Amino acid sequence: MMSTTSFLRNRCWVLRHGKSIPNEKGPIVSSMELKENNIPLEKVRICYSPFSRTTHTAEVVASVLNIPFEGAQCKVMEDLRERYFGPSFELEPHDKFAQEICALHEKDPSTRPEGGESVYDIVARLIRALATIEAQSKGCTILIVSHGDPLQILQTTVHAAKQHTGTGCDDLESRIQAIRTPPILSQHWKFALLTGELWSVI
């Protein structure tokens, strides 16, 4: 596992919930992988969305790593929940409305689908989650188990913040505010994860 960005104190990985873990490639995360990267098991934290599918994935990963799921190393976080697309889209298949949502984002990521969350809304709650993780888990390796849209928005945001330099941008929140612009956030589809896919936060 690579070190993450210099403005984050912890190494972070993201995992999009999966239907079956381990999968055909073997365990998504394993004790051997931790040893190979000199990561002590006691320094691993699993932060996950409260939705049942992410809770299940987090439980399976904790079991694979032999971490007590009910213990202090595993934490459910409301801010990691799935994006709410609004009543018009919520019960529709994703590919049925994906083009419409994508067009809306490309035009202006601050626009909300009727009754739903904008990309800007997702950034705000994900940064709250990251700030909490940073404050409570110093020097740890964090596995964030969440959903496709929030994770790709998180990757876009952290990637842009890592590249941003300027006065007064030494901490996470000030960097995020500096890059919270339509040209950057409208590109979040480039960081889409497959179901069950694990990525280092870039």
For residue 56, the model assigns a pLDDT of: 92
For 95-119, write each residue's pLDDT tens digit.
Answer: 666 677 777 777 778 888 888 898 9
- Asked if the bond preceding 22 is cis, omega within 30° of 0, the reply is yes
For 72-91, write each residue's pLDDT tens digit.
Answer: 999 999 999 998 888 877 76
Describe the strand order of the beta sheet including 44-48 as a list of residue ranges.
74-76, 44-48, 141-146, 11-16, 198-200
Dihedral of the CA atoms 179, 183, 188, 189 (nearest 10)? Answer: -170
Whole-structure pTM value: 0.83
For residue 121, the model assigns a pLDDT of: 92
Of the options 3.30.360.10, 3.40.50.150, 2.60.40.10, 3.40.50.1240, the CATH number for the domain spanning 11-200:
3.40.50.1240
